[in-house]
A and B are shown apart, each in its own frame.
Chain A
Amino acid sequence: MTTPREPPERCDAIRRRDPAALEAAARENIGPLLRGARAAGLSGGDAYDAVQEALLVFVEKADRYDGRASVRTWLFGILFNKIAERRRAVAREEPVDDIDAVVDARFDARGQWIKPPRAPDAELAAGQAMKMLEECLDQLPERRRAAFVLREVEQLDVDEVCNVLDVSRNNLGVLLFRARNALRECLESKGIEGSADVAL
């Protein structure tokens, strides 16, 4: 699924900096932007400030909106850019990471499972499990969590996420691989598991 491109009239209105169009675009995206800020590790007043800053940059630069990306993707780009700027450096992914070794240790030399996964059972949405999920998400490095949340929660397509986080397709793959495997390992270690052989 991809976020819808904007209809041409709307692009024009935004480029003209039509106040009603800008306000409508802002209104629609406050929730997603707050979640994005949260995924980037901000909460409370810091998240609110980052969202406000992103919205104001959006309004300021609206005449340069070219309609190639949806407004939401554009806004996410501004938000993550601002957050990275504030932290002064975009943390690059390390070439190797502990989670890579953890995943590798589950396979034999021929690439077959020696330690098969235990899937979270259907109860993951229940209270206790949600608490554990939140803890595991909080442990992820920010950029991995941001990549994961933009894909899974905001459901941006792969190219849009690359755009927003300013990473290559390969780099995004690494971020997602590490986020998903670290989350899964974390949940499994907390004992959220179901039988591995339940039919789909």
Chain B
Amino acid sequence: MLRCREVVELLATDGWRTAPLTRRVALGLHLMMCRHCRAYRRALRRMGAATRTLYRTVTADARQVERLLAAVRRMSTR
């Protein structure tokens, strides 16, 4: 049986992605039974989704894009 502390480690490091199948199954079972670890996973997911929304508002304006592309063109035809 996985401990909660190990679940947190697996989730927060992305270690679960490369963990052996038995460990991933143990993780799934633990999450089914432990509401605190489910809440923790939910928190991570929501933070990720919200950060995506936040960062996707960072974009270049048209003038910046044109200036950067002009620099690329100058360099690539040199």
Q: A125 interface residue, CB < 8 Å from B?
A: yes
Chain A binding surface SS class: helix
A184 touches B43 (CB 8 A): yes
List, in ascending order, chain A residues with CB within 8 A of B14's CB: 151, 158, 172-173, 176
List, in ascending order, chain A residues with CB within 8 A of B58's CB: 31, 34-35, 38
The interface-forming segment of A3-11, A48-56, A65-73, A80-88 is: A48-56
Top 8 nearest A-B pairs (CB, nearest first) are A111-B3, A173-B13, A111-B5, A116-B36, A152-B48, A119-B39, A119-B43, A196-B39
- What per-residue 1/0 map shows which CB atoms of B32-50 lie under 8 Å from chain A? 0001111110111011111
Chain B binding surface SS class: helix
B76 touches A52 (CB 8 A): no
Give A contacts to B, CB under 8 Å.
Answer: 17, 19, 22-23, 26-27, 30-31, 34-35, 38-39, 48, 51-52, 55-56, 59-60, 62, 103-104, 107, 110-113, 116-120, 122, 124-125, 129-130, 133-134, 137, 148-149, 151-153, 158, 169, 172-174, 176-177, 180-181, 183-184, 187, 196-198, 200
- Can you list 29 contacts pairing A with B, beta carbon distance less than 8 Å? A17-B76, A23-B72, A23-B73, A30-B65, A31-B58, A34-B58, A51-B68, A107-B4, A113-B36, A117-B40, A118-B43, A120-B47, A124-B47, A124-B49, A130-B53, A133-B50, A151-B48, A158-B18, A169-B18, A176-B12, A176-B13, A177-B9, A180-B44, A180-B47, A181-B8, A184-B44, A187-B43, A187-B47, A196-B36
Residue in A22, A117, A137 whose CB lies within 8 Å of B43:
A117
B50 touches A60 (CB 8 A): no
A113 touches B4 (CB 8 A): yes
The distance from the CB of A165 to the nearest CB of chain B, in whole angstroms, is 14
A23 touches B50 (CB 8 A): no
A39 touches B50 (CB 8 A): no
B69 touches A117 (CB 8 A): no
Give B contacts to A, CB under 8 Å.
Answer: 3-6, 8-9, 12-15, 17-18, 35-40, 42-44, 46-56, 58-60, 64-65, 68-69, 71-73, 75-77
List, in ascending order, chain B residues with CB within 8 A of A51's CB: 60, 68
User: Which residue of the partner chain B has the closest CB to A147?
Assistant: B14
User: Which residue of the partner chain B has the closest CB to A173?
Assistant: B13
